[in-house]
């Protein structure tokens, strides 16, 4: 196969596929004269709630605000401990710090998701919440975590920023726990053309609180019940979102098909992402694991294939974490994985030639170097 370039992501392909409609939707909002919140935003929220199988969806400015606002709505603040996985995007920790609570980072399992054993060891009298991240779009064991903490005062929040459409026994992520937090950032599986976020919940009380907290704590135009932030969604983004949401299942199916092809091509050479039985992963990232990660990534780069690492610096090793002076739990799995994980290009707009090229080059690396699969 001739050398080709395969970018890790290419959002301009997505834009080209929808350009005419996007221009029409932009004009529609321009003419409406309502640019923040309003009817279009409410319609998008209803569609999003239906997609996730919950009673309510509350749109916000971004995924980090979604997390911080949920913590705020649950009255979690100074002195309270919130357990989070040590391998996530830094926003998971950032949201906890923003409400001035204490993040407690714990280790992950072989699937890179928060470990239930590590949670058990980290729980104290001060634990008020656990944020369960479905990393890379692969659902964590949230149903088990929910069951375990059902009769306690510890709240379960889903960080579903990477997992829209993922399911456990047919139940979508974002419908477990107290609330689900989504990012609609352009690099997410479902996105529009700017920042955005969504909170999902079955609780009407949370819905009422969050409607208020995302809008300065105002209960009407002039009266502020409780100080909060401004985190509202634009009507433009909502209008794009409303139009794009019906495409999500097709994109997800395409991504799953690519992942299954990668599995079949790579499984004898390296660790491929495992999915539990009755679980649907949506492969926000397709992460393989090999002790020869750096050599493989260089080889792919030389062959025109862009790769990334999610994440090269665990939260507990971030300079910002050192400044917090909070205690750290041991995270041996996170430390091992950060040396071995590699994310390959995976998105709906990749064509078959590109997918086959990636597969051929990854396999080529292992065959040329005659490396055998190691245990993870
Ligand atoms: C796991 C996780 N949590 C939270 C966020 C924060 O979302 P946003 O960038 O929309 O604030 C992200 C997005 O990058 C994420 O991947």
Inter-CA distances, 191 with 11, 194, 303, 325, Å: 10, 8, 29, 36
With a cut of 70, say whether residue 374 has pLDDT above it: no
- pLDDT for 110 equals 92
- Burial string for 67-101 (b: 16+ CB within 10 Å, else e) reads bbbbbbbbebeeebbbbbbbbbbbbbbbbbbbbeb
CA of 335 to the centre of ligand 1 (A): 21
With a cut of 70, say whether residue 14 has pLDDT above it: yes
pLDDT above 90: percentage of residues in the chain: 95
CA of 90 to the centre of ligand 1 (A): 8
- Indicate the pLDDT class of residue 203, thresholds 50, 70 and 90: very high
- CA of 67, closest atom in ligand 1: 4
- pLDDT for 325 equals 84
CA 56 to chain CA centroid, nearest Å: 19
Q: Is the CB of 337 under 6 A from ligand 1?
A: no
Q: Is the CB of 346 under 6 A from ligand 1?
A: no
What is the pTM (predicted TM-score) of this model?
Answer: 0.96
- CA–CA dist 245, 141 (Å, integer): 26
Q: Is the CB of 175 under 6 A from ligand 1?
A: no
- CA of 196, closest atom in ligand 1: 10
Q: Is the CB of 183 under 6 A from ligand 1?
A: yes
Q: Is the CB of 68 under 6 A from ligand 1?
A: no
- pLDDT for 128 equals 98
Q: Is the CB of 197 under 6 A from ligand 1?
A: yes
pLDDT above 70: percentage of residues in the chain: 98
Per the prediction, the chain carries an average pLDDT of 96
**Nearest C-alpha to atom 8 of ligand 1 is from which residue?**
63
CA of 152 to the centre of ligand 1 (A): 28
Indicate the SS3 state at residue 344.
strand
Q: Is the CB of 236 under 6 A from ligand 1?
A: no
Rounded average pLDDT over 211-224: 96
Angle at 231 between CA 74 and CA 84, to 5 degrees: 45
CA of 159 to the centre of ligand 1 (A): 8
pLDDT tens string 114-154: 999 999 999 999 999 999 999 999 999 999 999 999 999 99
Q: Is the CB of 63 under 6 A from ligand 1?
A: yes
Q: Which domains are assigned to the chain?
A: 12-246 (3.40.640.10), 248-369 (3.90.1150.10)
- pLDDT for 328 equals 80
Q: Is the CB of 111 under 6 A from ligand 1?
A: no
- Indicate the pLDDT class of residue 1, thresholds 50, 70 and 90: confident
- CA of 95, closest atom in ligand 1: 4
- pLDDT for 376 equals 58
Q: Is the CB of 62 under 6 A from ligand 1?
A: yes
- Indicate the pLDDT class of residue 373, thresholds 50, 70 and 90: low
pLDDT tens string 69-110: 999 999 999 999 999 999 999 999 999 999 999 999 999 999
With a cut of 70, say whether residue 363 has pLDDT above it: yes
- pLDDT for 329 equals 86
- pLDDT for 313 equals 96
pLDDT tens string 278-325: 999 999 999 999 999 999 999 999 999 999 999 999 999 999 999 998
CA 196 to chain CA centroid, nearest Å: 13
pLDDT tens string 323-339: 998 888 899 999 999 99
Angle at 59 between CA 54 and CA 60, to 5 degrees: 135
- Indicate the pLDDT class of residue 342, thresholds 50, 70 and 90: very high
Q: Is the CB of 177 under 6 A from ligand 1?
A: no
**Nearest C-alpha to atom 7 of ligand 1 is from which residue?**
63
């Amino acid at each position: 196969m001739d050398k080709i370039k395969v970018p890790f992501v290419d959002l301009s392909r997505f834009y080209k596929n929808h350009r005419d409609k996007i221009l029409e939707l932009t004009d529609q909002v321009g003419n409406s004269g309502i640019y923040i919140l309003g009817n279009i935003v409410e319609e998008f929220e209803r569609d999003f709630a239906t997609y996730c199988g919950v009673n309510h969806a509350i749109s916000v400015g971004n995924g980090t605000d979604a997390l911080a606002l949920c913590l705020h709505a649950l009255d979690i603040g100074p002195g309270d401990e919130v357990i989070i996985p040590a391998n996530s995007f830094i926003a998971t920790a950032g949201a906890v710090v923003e409400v001035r609570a204490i993040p407690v980072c714990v280790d992950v399992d072989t699937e890179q998701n928060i470990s239930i054993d590590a949670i058990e060891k980290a729980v104290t009298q001060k634990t008020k919440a656990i944020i369960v991240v479905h990393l890379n779009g692969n659902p964590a064991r949230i149903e088990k975590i929910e069951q375990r903490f059902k009769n306690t005062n510890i709240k379960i929040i889903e960080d579903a920023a990477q997992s829209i459409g993922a399911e456990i026994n047919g139940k979508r992520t974002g419908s477990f726990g107290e609330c689900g937090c989504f990012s609609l950032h352009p690099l997410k599986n479902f996105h529009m053309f700017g920042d955005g976020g969504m909170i999902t919940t079955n609780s009407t009380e949370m819905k009422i609180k969050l409607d208020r907290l995302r809008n300065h704590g105002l209960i009407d135009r002039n009266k502020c019940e409780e100080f909060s932030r401004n985190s509202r969604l634009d009507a433009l983004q909502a209008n794009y979102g409303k139009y794009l949401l019906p495409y999500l299942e097709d994109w997800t199916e395409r991504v799953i098909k690519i992942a299954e092809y990668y599995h079949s091509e790579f499984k004898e050479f390296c660790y491929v992402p495992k999915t539990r039985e009755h679980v649907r992963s949506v492969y926000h990232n397709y992460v393989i694991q090999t002790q020869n990660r750096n050599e493989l990534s260089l080889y792919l780069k030389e062959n025109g294939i862009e790769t990334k690492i999610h994440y090269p610096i665990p939260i507990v090793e971030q300079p910002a974490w050192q400044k917090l002076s909070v205690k750290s739990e041991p995270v041996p799995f996170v430390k091992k994985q950060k040396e071995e994980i590699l994310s390959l290009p995976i998105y709906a707009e990749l064509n078959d030639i590109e997918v086959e090229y990636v597969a051929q080059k990854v396999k080529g690396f292992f065959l040329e170097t005659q490396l055998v699969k190691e245990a993870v």
